Structure 1
């Protein structure tokens, strides 16, 4: 007579959930850390925005810093005023966009960077503002060329780094896509140029062009949305694992 078959021994249900449970905990910790990091970035960005806005509203405007004392972290976005003479024959056009008259519409054109020479310091590049593509030729906006001494009020900006997807400049053809102060100065035969430029304010130029005041100091701050996204994914992960665990436990019950 055959021996009675031994009953099949089943492992405790929780063992089947051990591996997926550990994986879920690891992913959950990462998601929560990312969400918390975004909240910390939000607080940091709000401090930066507050500092930038305060600097841009300095009144009366300051004198630009000496070239040897320029510190982008401490000086960028400060409101300054300077007097000198514009070298209109050495202006440089930098490709860019500006807000159009209709909401959500942008104008394609150029930013006009003109050297300003002064008696008490090196030349400074002045971003005089935006001109549409049809006015790229200075002769088409001759009324906007100021020949005598001028006083410029604006915001200090550091040289603009070229991003990964920004085309390389072509100095021989006069094609520039970022406000590269050393590169533009070298292409225009300028020496000892200040390591910063001034974004001119909205004071009208003769003829209306270039149009200054294009700088936007309100930096994007989407970190709260990113935090909600990471926390939302974490909540979904908890829900998915809970449903899986409940179904698995019912199957073995």
Structure 2
């Protein structure tokens, strides 16, 4: 006997759950595994960077508060690196070559202006051969408030020893900053400097035997030593070195690990839904088989 439409045939009108193909599931699983592995690797890398940055900050803090040591001489220059030497407190004795001063664009807490980079011909025991170290004497403001004239052009010959008295400068050792800054390249021909590029400044000033670093003079050294004709009020302001290292690696690590966790959760949800779909499809198939058997019996 055939059942009337609408009686016992409701199940035949239900949408049968459909599962994904095996190929699609394998593709999803591979993509999820790759994404999870990549996120975990990136998170672990950021943890390692966090450890490195923390150690760097601790090391620099120790250096800037330590007693000053003699500035490295020529015998140490080839082995110097930012990791081993930068921000070390050093002192150096010699005579300033004020006529070869270079002004480098600067942006500080005091506003825009220039760093006053003056060569110092070393005379201490560590550099008795007359090697030269660039000294950042400090900051002067830009515009009419700037009180240092543009440096005179260097002569073709290396500058002779100056009659300027010997001075001792204390400050932080900084590594050269090649290329430029403020999204602009240094322009030695027009005396436009945007970074403290030691080699380029030395070349433009025709200096030889120049250290591969410069020294940021501290406030006491900057105020103690004046250029010829420079009053105490006109001296550059020293001690403005900013020692700050952004340390966001923990946030980055947590972000990558969170993405890995979300990937794992999404993969788990897809797998659970796939199991439910397959189970529902199996139950729907059994109901159809049972309805078919009942129909044949009737």
TM-score band (shorter)? 0.7 to 0.9
Aligned to 2:71: 64
Take 1:97 and 1:84, find their aligned partners in 2: how far apart are those partners? 28
Aligned to 1:238: 264
* C-alpha spacing 1:133/1:165, structure 2 compared with 1 (3 Å): closer
Q: Is the 8 A contact 1:13 1:249 kept in 2?
A: no
Alignment TM-score, normalising by the size of structure 2: 0.69
Structure 1 residues 154-205: Cα deviation after superposition (integer angstroms, max 9, x where no partner): 0111211336974221112111111111110111121211222111112252
Structure 1 residues 185-241: Cα deviation after superposition (integer angstroms, max 9, x where no partner): 111121211222111112252216411112223322221111011112212222333
Take 1:221 and 1:42, find their aligned partners in 2: how far apart are those partners? 7
After TM superposition, list the pairs within 5 Å mapping 1:113-192 onto structure 2: 113-119=117-123, 120=128, 121-134=130-143, 135-139=145-149, 148-162=165-179, 166-192=183-209
Rg larger in 1 or in 2? 2
Structure 1 residues 110-143: Cα deviation after superposition (integer angstroms, max 9, x where no partner): 1111111233231210011222212445159xxx
- Give 4+ residue runs of structure 1 displaced > 4 Å after superposition: 10-14
Count of aligned pairs: 231
Counterpart of 1:45 (choices 16, 38, 53) is: 53
CA RMSD in angstroms, aligned pairs only: 2.6
Take 1:36 and 1:56, find their aligned partners in 2: how far apart are those partners? 30
Aligned to 1:193: 210
Q: 1:98 Cα shift?
A: 0.7
Q: Is the 8 A contact 2:147 2:234 kept in 1?
A: no
Counterpart of 1:20 (choices 18, 28, 31) is: 28
